[in-house]
């Protein structure tokens, strides 16, 4: 019998109860797994390790390449980064797979509609890159990074996952109507790759309409692929459609590595009370077994969960904590139901997912031409737009760049700006080539230095023209 080494991280709060329940159920199938316990999260933060992930845990994951993990507590609004995000980034688990399906005995407003969908979320870039700066004392910035490589990998995973489970449709959900370069990158990549999968229907939807449609008619969706922040939000929404986060498993997949965990958090107020719903972690264990090629055991556990729910063994998150089945009892019922099949309910047959093999070259999409045609010089100032604009025009009068416009939080305020705009101290001052020809970036930096002698420059951004197309967007009201 094949034995598998798996790093297990019990986690914080309710994590240990859920993870130990999953281990008991997986062991009951007879699959040979050597569980190697390691730690991350709150207890590690308290040891003074800022990442929340100690070296022993990193070493273990590097060896086993498979992790079953409980939820980890994360400081909110201050202090260290999320240990969850740290693990995803350390091991480049770029694809987050979050399935939800209607379950027997779990009554929701959507019962009977046959919800069975998967959110495939890009997992390491976007706003979750966590690159933030205070631009002024009252204006914060977060960089939204969407790469061509990251978009290609997540799109291919979405189609490959659909094929692995016999699914028929993939929908790409973006906010590309507003963020045409970042969110638009995912949309354009999706539309380029979709023809390679003629057996799967491909479509695009704006993310806010996707959320609307998920509430209105969720069963229309099969697989949804989206960016990191969007995927985080709508996957929580989809879990609510089938009964809540207690039923929401997930897999974080990279090339040759996988981390399986529930979508829910550590819920410390319920820790140690034997009342929590372990189903999300149990089903994460099912996803782990499929990844390991143990498809029969995975199907047995999924069927056993369905039978247990069909019998009415519901935990407190579904029927109230004064009425629900205890965590330990629920786990024992699932183990007792191994080998049984729920009447009227099926599980999807699955095959191993084929992970995309994408070039590791940092220069993923080289440009034929790339010219600097101007610069956005961001200035911290309490002057009015007219006062600031006049000053900048005087400073740049002899420079090879000329002031085109000033915007404030994306809306043009100079020249001829909207007087209704309530400005803040952070101004984007767009300078373009005076001659219309490309410039050198050092010329823009020299202008920024001259401006900084009078005003406070807080950021400089190149305006690029790549392969003949503008690589920057215009402000609201800019010609």
Domains and CATH numbers, the chain: 1-92+244-355 (3.40.718.10), 109-241 (3.40.718.10), 370-470 (3.30.70.1570)
Helix (H) or strand (E) holding 451: helix 441-452
Q: Does residue 367 contact residue 467 with C-beta atoms inside 8 Å?
A: yes
- Spatial neighbors of 133 by CB under 8 A, at least 6 apart, are 140, 141
Among 306, 312, 313, 310, which Cα is nearest to 286's? 306
Q: Say if residue 196's pLDDT is above 60.
A: yes
Helix (H) or strand (E) holding 192: helix 182-193
Give me Rg for the CA atoms of the chain. 26
pLDDT digits (tens, 9 = 90+) for 415-467: 998 889 999 999 999 999 999 999 999 999 999 999 999 999 999 999 999 99
Q: What is the dihedral of CA 199, 203, 209, 213, to 10 degrees?
A: -30
**Residue 86's pLDDT band (cuts 50, 70, 90):** confident
pLDDT digits (tens, 9 = 90+) for 204-213: 999 999 999 9
Residue 59 tokens read as 């070493």
Give the rounded distance of the alpha carbon of 43 from its chain centre.
Answer: 25
Please list the active-site residues: 128, 175, 208, 232
pLDDT digits (tens, 9 = 90+) for 271-293: 999 999 999 999 999 999 999 99
Q: What is the DSSP letter of 123?
A: -
Among 247, 208, 251, 246, which Cα is nearest to 229's? 208
Sign of the torsion formed by the C-alpha atoms of 101, 103, 107 and 112: positive
pLDDT digits (tens, 9 = 90+) for 288-306: 999 999 999 999 999 999 9
């Amino acid at each position: 019998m094949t034995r598998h080494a798996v790093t297990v991280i019990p986690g914080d709060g309710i994590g240990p109860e859920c993870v130990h329940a999953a281990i008991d159920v997986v062991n009951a199938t007879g699959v040979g797994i050597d569980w190697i316990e390691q730690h991350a999260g709150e207890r590690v933060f308290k040891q003074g390790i800022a990442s929340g992930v100690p070296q022993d845990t990193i070493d273990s994951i590097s060896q086993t390449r498979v992790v079953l993990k409980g939820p980890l507590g994360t400081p909110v609004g201050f202090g260290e980064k999320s240990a969850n995000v740290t693990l995803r980034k350390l091991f480049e688990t770029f694809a987050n797979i979050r399935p939800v399906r209607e379950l027997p005995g779990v009554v929701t407003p959507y019962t009977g509609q046959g919800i069975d969908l998967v959110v495939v979320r890009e997992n390491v870039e976007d706003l979750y890159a966590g690159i933030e700066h205070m631009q002024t004392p009252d204006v914060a910035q977060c960089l939204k990074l969407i790469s061509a490589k990251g978009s290609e990998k997540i799109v291919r995973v979405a189609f490959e996952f659909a094929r692995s489970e016999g699914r028929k449709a993939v929908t790409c959900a973006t906010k590309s109507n507003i963020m045409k370069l970042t969110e638009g990158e995912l949309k354009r990549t999706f539309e380029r790759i979709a023809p390679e999968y003629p057996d799967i229907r491909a479509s695009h939807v704006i993310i806010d309409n996707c959320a609307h449609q998920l509430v209105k008619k969720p069963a229309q969706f099969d697989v949804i692929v989206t960016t990191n922040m969007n995927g985080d939000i709508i996957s929580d929404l989809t879990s609510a459609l089938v009964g809540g986060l207690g039923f929401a498993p997930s897999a974080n997949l990279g090339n040759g590595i996988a981390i399986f965990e529930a979508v829910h958090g550590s819920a410390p107020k319920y820790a140690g009370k034997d009342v929590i719903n372990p189903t999300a972690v149990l089903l994460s264990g099912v996803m782990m077994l499929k990844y390991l090629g143990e498809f029969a055991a995975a199907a047995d556990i999924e069927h056993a969960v369905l039978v247990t729910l069909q019998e009415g063994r519901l935990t407190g998150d579904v029927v109230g904590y004064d009425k629900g089945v205890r965590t330990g009892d629920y786990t024992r019922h699932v183990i007792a139901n191994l080998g049984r099949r729920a009447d009227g309910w099926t599980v999807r047959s699955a095959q191993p997912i084929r992970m995309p093999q994408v070039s590791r070259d940092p220069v993923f999409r080289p440009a034929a031409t790339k010219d600097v045609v101007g610069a956005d010089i961001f200035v911290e100032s309490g002057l009015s737009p007219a006062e600031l604009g006049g000053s900048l025009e005087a400073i740049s009068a002899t420079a090879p760049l000329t002031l085109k416009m000033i915007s404030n939080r994306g809306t043009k305020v100079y020249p001829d700006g909207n007087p209704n705009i309530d400005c803040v101290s952070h101004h984007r001052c767009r300078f373009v080539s005076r001659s219309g020809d490309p410039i050198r970036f050092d010329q823009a930096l020299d202008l920024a230095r001259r401006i900084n002698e009078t005003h406070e420059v807080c950021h400089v951004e190149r305006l690029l023209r790549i392969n003949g197309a503008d690589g920057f967007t215009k402000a609201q009201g800019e010609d």
